[in-house]
Structure 1
Amino acid sequence: MTLLTTWPESGPGTVIRRTTDPGEIAAVLAPIGVRYEQWPLRDHVPEDPEPEAVLRAYREEVKGLVAAEGFATVDAVGLRPRKDLGWRLAAKAERKKFLSEHTHDDDDEVRFFVAGAGAFYLHVDREVHAVLCEAGDLLKVPRGTKHWFDMGASPSFTVIRFFHEENGWVGNFTGSDIALKFPDFDALMAARAAA
């Protein structure tokens, strides 16, 4: 179940809003330019799918979004936990990169979660909105929006990524340490389970 939690940018001491209602999540995010919607899940996508299988399974939805938004590139990527040290170190480095607040000048950040979960944190209008996304969730963060992403200590997700620019993901890091002040992905997952 998707979870939206909103705090003041000063820190997580006060919860402004917490909801799992998809309609309310979309309504809260729309005024700040963030698109949230849910797509139906496909039963025939394997547990650890190849990118081509993911894109085939969601061909119609991808085609419709590309036509509506003019995306130049679409791909599918994922991470699944493995026990080897090399994977753990690579996942830790990848997580650290996305945990720093950043913006994108030339593109929106658009992700559809095919499987697993991840959390987008949106720093807008003196608030931080944490959107704990799961399979079926589509989130579009507009270019110029300060945000960060947390995949957790043991990442497990598959997403379809949409890009207007051929060069893919390019982040402009703000240098802020704000991400360190707020609950991480694993804490959000624990809060959701307790609710």
Structure 2
Amino acid sequence: MSSLSVYHLSTPDIPNKVLTHVEDIASTLAEHGVRFERWQATTPIKPGASQQEVIAAYQGQIDQWMTEGGYRNVEVISVHGEQPQKAELRAEHLEEQRHGKDEIRLFVAGRGLLNLHIEDYVYAVLCEKHDLISVPAGTVHWLDVGEDPRVVVIRLFNDAEGGVENFTSEDIASRFPGLDD
């Protein structure tokens, strides 16, 4: 079940609120320009699927988003627990970062904890299969895929370079609960 836990930076172990209804999650995030919705995917994808397989399965929807939203680049995160480099992949996504352009993430398999650092708060969004979330340009964030990751995420960016990370050099992710906590 998708959820949103909101933490103040001064109390990373105690959320101010926890929401589990999609409408409540969506309205709380919308206050910060973040779109969250359930999207009914029709093609089954398993963690570990290649970028080509995922893009081929969702080509129609990807084309529609690119046309309507001006997105110009698509990438896929596909991680499964048997991958030998899973610890490195997890560590890479745990670094607090921001992108210079808007991003859409569609979780097509598995789950991940997307944390948005907005002002004095961290919005920890547990995203599961069928969740779509937008991350506005400049929003500081990190993603926890867990110790035994099983997730496939389609990411769309509205620039040609795609997901160029600008790391903040902050160690904030280690202070907040992760996906497995």
- State the TM-score, normalizing by the size of structure 2: 0.90
Q: Distance in 2 between matches of 1:181 and 1:46?
A: 33
* Distance (Å, rounded) in 2 between the aligned partners of 1:52 and 1:182: 34
Q: 1:186 to 1:13 in 2, by over 3 A?
A: closer
Identical positions, percent: 36
The answer to whether residue 40 in structure 2 is matched with residue 45 in structure 1 is: no
SS at the partner of 2:81? coil
What is the SS of the residue equivalent to 1:130? Answer: strand
Following superposition, the deviation at residue 61 of structure 1 comes to 2.7
SS in 1 for 2:148: coil
Number of paired residues?
Answer: 180
8 Å Cα contact 1:45/1:53 also seen in 2: no
1:70-129 CA deviation, whole Å, 9 max, x = no partner?
1112243411121xxxx33x2111211211211112x22321011001111111121111
- After TM superposition, the structure 1 = structure 2 runs for residues 1-195 of structure 1, keeping only pairs within 5 Å, are 1-42=1-42, 44-48=43-47, 49-82=49-82, 87-88=83-84, 90-105=85-100, 107-187=101-181
> Could you tell me whether the CA contact under 8 Å between 2:80 and 2:86 is conserved in 1?
no
- 2: distance between equivalents of 1:33 and 1:67? 21
TM-score (norm 1): 0.84
Q: Determine which structure has more spread, i.e. the larger CA radius of gyration.
A: 1
**Residues in 1 aligned to 2:166 and 2:37: alpha-carbon distance in whole angstroms:** 26
Q: Distance in 2 between matches of 1:181 and 1:3?
A: 19
CA contact (8 A) 2:45 2:109 kept: no
The answer on whether the counterparts of 2:105 and 2:134 sit within 8 Å (CA) in structure 1 is yes
Separation in 1, partners of 2:80, 2:88: 15
Q: Alpha carbons of 1:53 and 1:98: their partners in 2 closer, same or farther (altered >3 Å)?
A: closer
Q: 1:92 to 1:65 in 2, by over 3 A?
A: same
The structure whose residues are more often helix, as a share, is: 1
Once the 2 structures are TM-superposed, how far is the Cα of residue 170 of structure 1 from its aligned partner? 1.2
User: For residues 46 and 177 of structure 1, what CA distance do their matches in structure 2 show?
Assistant: 33
Q: Gaps (5+ residues) in structure 2?
A: none
Where does structure 1 differ by over 6 angstroms across 4 or more consecutive aligned residues?
Answer: none
Change (3 A) 1:14 1:163: same
